[in-house]
Amino acid sequence: MKRIGLLFILILAIAAPVFAQYPDGATGDISAYADDQGSACDLAANGGNAPVPLFIVHKFSDGGGATGCRFKITTPAGMSIFGFNTTFVPIGQVTSDLSLGYGVCINATTSLGSVIAFSSTPSPLCSYVSVVAADNFSDPISTDCSFGEYKVETGQAIVNNDGNCPCNIATQPSSWGKVKSLYR
Distance between CA atoms of residues 105 and 65, nearest Å:
6
The mean predicted confidence, pLDDT, of the chain is 82
pLDDT at 101 over 90: yes
Buried b (16+ CB within 10 A) or exposed e, 40-71: ebebebeeeeeebbbbbbbbbeeebbbbbbbb
Lowest mean pLDDT among 3-17, 73-87, 131-145, 159-173: 3-17
CATH number, domain at 141? 2.60.40.680
Distance between CA atoms of residues 42 and 32, nearest Å:
10
Segment 127-183, tens digit of pLDDT: 999 999 999 999 999 999 999 999 999 988 999 888 888 775 444 555 667 666 667
Residue 131 lies in a domain: yes
Expressed as residue numbers, the domain containing 164 is 23-170
- What is residue 162's predicted lDDT score, i.e. its pLDDT? 87
Residue 113 lies in a domain: yes
Residue 4 lies in a domain: no
The residue type found at 140 is P
Query: For the chain, how many structural domains are there in total?
Result: 1
Strand partners, 80: 118
Residue 37 lies in a domain: yes
Quickly state the pLDDT bin for 53 (edges 50, 70, 90).
confident
Residue 103 lies in a domain: yes
Residue 141 lies in a domain: yes
Quickly state the pLDDT bin for 63 (edges 50, 70, 90).
confident
User: What average pLDDT does range 85-101 have in this prediction?
Assistant: 95
Residue 11 lies in a domain: no
User: In this predicted model, which residue has the larger pLDDT, 113 or 6?
Assistant: 113
Residue 3 lies in a domain: no
